[in-house]
Amino acid sequence: MPSTPSALEITQDIVRMDTRNPPGREVECANYLGHLLSDAGIEVNSFEFAENRTSLVAQLKGRGTKPPLCFGGHIDVVPLGTKEWTVDPFGAQIVDGKLYGRGSTDMKAGISAFVHTALKLAAEGRRGDSDIVMAICAGEETGCEGSFYLSEVGALGEAGAVVICEPTSNYPVLGHKGALWLRVETKGVTAHGSMPERGENAIYKAARSVTKLEDFDFNIAPHELLGRATLNVGMIEGGLNLNSVPDHTEFTIDIRTLPEQDRDKVL
Ligand SMILES: [Zn+2]
């Protein structure tokens, strides 16, 4: 019987799989984890919300005397950014006792930790009071499409507790802020760049709004665990060429809310 791979080995294997989202393409990583779990006798079901966008729900049976304990995580990772990396982002290299690679922290190590633990429990034939359910999701970074799909198709039942294995510096965090993502457009009137007075510049309009947002205050007290409600303008796009007055821009706002903030009121 093959020995159980360590959490470190599993992390290295899956960090080497490119699951940057966009575009995602989590299938290879999901299949790898699915095979590890099913080879250990753990029930695994896979769900594709789109082609090659595979999530898994795996279940290690317990005695069923307590409600299931669910571990959750995502296997997609954010893009690499524009700054050149000093290590191979998909190398999973260990330097001075630290593992480097995109997604090593957020959150392939977390996934590997619970997968390794489940494999070990299965190999040792140990059963707890609860079933252990593992929800391994594709497409978290761009709006939790994988999780929404699991919920839509009824892939998840009740759970007594849910542990999300996002990185929190090894400190348990009991909640997180809500997210409200907005896309804002400004419109203007185009004109030749040599005669801006004949047009209406959509970039200036966007710039004024963005500057106001920088100092925006939600006017509510910080939450004792979650801190302040925040707002970030993450993307801006506008104009077609250097010598025209732009008639359109788009920018995004990422608002992180506290429990007492109602979405509709924030809007
Ligand atoms: Zn994450």
CATH of the domain at 79: 3.40.630.10
Q: What is the model's pLDDT at position 3?
A: 87
Catalytic residues: 76, 140
Q: What is the model's pLDDT at position 8?
A: 97
For residue 253, the CA-to-ligand 1 centroid distance in Å is 19
For residue 34, the CA-to-ligand 1 centroid distance in Å is 20
Residue 102 falls within a domain, yes or no?
yes
Mean pLDDT in order along the chain per 10 residues (267 residues): 89 98 97 98 97 98 95 97 96 97 97 97 94 97 95 95 93 89 97 97 98 94 93 97 97 96 86
Both 182 and 146 in a single domain? no
Which protein residues have a CB closer than 5 Å to ligand 1 (ion)? 106-107, 166
For residue 73, the CA-to-ligand 1 centroid distance in Å is 7
For residue 28, the CA-to-ligand 1 centroid distance in Å is 19
For residue 100, the CA-to-ligand 1 centroid distance in Å is 16
Both 121 and 247 in a single domain? no
Q: What is the model's pLDDT at position 249?
A: 98
Phi-psi region at 96: left, alpha or beta (left = phi > 0; alpha = psi -120 to 50)? left
Residue 120 falls within a domain, yes or no?
yes
Range(s) of the domain holding residue 239: 178-266
* Residue at a domain's end among 164, 193, 220: 164
Q: What is the model's pLDDT at position 111?
A: 98
Q: What is the model's pLDDT at position 1?
A: 56
For residue 110, the CA-to-ligand 1 centroid distance in Å is 9
Both 156 and 182 in a single domain? no
- Residue 139 vs residues 13, 19, 72, 135: alpha-carbon distances, Å: 19, 9, 13, 13
Both 73 and 205 in a single domain? no
Q: What is the model's pLDDT at position 266?
A: 85
Cβ 78 vs Cβ 139: under 8 Å:
no
Both 58 and 114 in a single domain? yes
Both 92 and 184 in a single domain? no
Q: What is the model's pLDDT at position 225?
A: 87
Cβ 77 vs Cβ 103: under 8 Å:
yes
Residue 38 falls within a domain, yes or no?
yes
Both 145 and 185 in a single domain? no
Both 147 and 116 in a single domain? yes
Residue 247 falls within a domain, yes or no?
yes
Closest to 247 in 3D by CA, of 198, 211, 214, 209: 198
Cα(223)–Cα(245) distance, integer angstroms: 44
Q: What is the model's pLDDT at position 203?
A: 98
Residue 208 falls within a domain, yes or no?
yes
For residue 48, the CA-to-ligand 1 centroid distance in Å is 19
Both 229 and 157 in a single domain? no
Total domains in the chain come to 2
Both 26 and 148 in a single domain? yes
For residue 74, the CA-to-ligand 1 centroid distance in Å is 7
Query: What's the gap between Cα 20 and its chain centre?
Result: 11
* Residue at a domain's end among 164, 192, 221: 164
Q: What is the model's pLDDT at position 210?
A: 97
Both 123 and 197 in a single domain? no
Q: What is the model's pLDDT at position 264?
A: 86
